[in-house]
Amino acid sequence: MPAGRRGTGRKGAALIAGALLLSLTACGGGGDSGAGSGSGGGKDKGTGTQQGKQSTAAVSILPKSGATGVDTSGALKVSVAQGRLTQVTVKNAKGAEVGGSITGGGASWTPSTHLAGGTKYTVHAVAKDSEGREAAEDSTFTTLTPKNTFVGYFTPEDGSTVGVGMPFSVRFTRGITSPAAVEKAIRVRTEPAVDVEGHWFGNDRLDFRPEKYWKAGTKVTVDLDLDGVEGRDGVYGKQHKTIRFTIGRDQVSVVDAKKHTMKVTQDGKVIKTIPVTTGKPGYDTWNGQMVMSEKLAVTRMNGETVGYGGEYDIKDVPHAIRLTDSGTFIHGNYWGGGAFGNYNASHGCVGLRDVRGGYDKSVPAAWFFNHSMVGDVVVVKHSHDRTVDPANGLNGWNMSWADWKK
């Protein structure tokens, strides 16, 4: 082969070897060659982060992934070492997120509410180290399935329209020994906004109301999120429901036991004055503010059910509206003769003139029944008895606001 050809071949081989060496050096990113101190420095020009180095942030999730029988409160915790949390997402199997907040400058995340029982959750957490490099961690766990449960029976009903005195009242099927946890799980929202506070009557009833009667037209929404709440040791709520109700027109009726009259007011104006009879001596009617909790077109009233032996048993009392749990009603009375507006003759109820069978819509009892709704207020004054117990019926208005909030 001619000498020129042999020289060209050697030069070509040298160029190929040089190209391979350059390629290997570039791919090495510096390595032992010390290229890290050069202009390229082995850094990604787009992010400025060290290539090939992992984030030093170490995310920790409790409970461990795959855990079962996890407690619904206090067990879920997310934290990070050598970094700060930037995102934590917790979802149930249906995709509903669990609220929570990052605290401690990004050191930890805690849920803002309890978890539901017997539910699978997924956790996704992201953190950054001091160089801005991200680290992520995922976990899946399932909460315990309670063996013992409780629910709350509430009033008023969803979708109802009620009077200005109606509290939202819940009676629980088990006595509650962790009232703060249960109360936290019941959230009351109003439109327009007004401060609403809860008050416990014993350990199985919780009522909510504002400081003063509701404003007419107020819309109330209650989130009853008891599912997973440990109300007492080993006993968990199993109820999750949203209740909405509306406050109707403002009607308050004032009974004067001394004058034997009742003035019915709407929006503060008297629209009708009705002659009444209240409790006779020894059977005086309670004083105070009483909220209508039930309306019955006709009912039976038997003295034995309220401790009065066989003094009376009337099987067809018309137009009856309950005011207390202990048996105080404001109702139609067809046997009272001339008592209405003149003297007190009842066993503690407020009586209005009526006819047997309640067929006459023009009599006072029928008019009042038809113009009243559950949640309206009846105020009794000038009776010789004491003020009604706030726990006797929906009558917490007889407590001061300071005592209510205790």
Q: How far apart are CA 273 and CA 262, in angstroms?
A: 6
And the tokens for 306? 């309220």
Residue 387 burial class via C-beta count within 10 angstroms: exposed 0-12, middle 13-18, buried 19 and up: middle
Catalytic residue among 331, 347, 371, 382: 331
Determine whether 27 is an active site residue: no
Q: Using DSSP bridges, classify how beta strands 261-266 and 251-256 pair: parallel, antiparallel or unpaired.
A: antiparallel
| Exposure on the CB side of residue 16, measured as CA atoms within 13 A | 6
Determine whether 331 is an active site residue: yes
And the tokens for 231? 């109300």
Asked whether 284 and 270 are in contact (CB, 8 A), the reply is: no
Catalytic residue among 319, 349, 371, 384: 349
Buried b (16+ CB within 10 A) or exposed e, 103-121: eeebebbebebbbbbebeb
Q: How far apart are CA 353 and CA 341, in angstroms?
A: 10
Which residues carry out catalysis? 331, 349
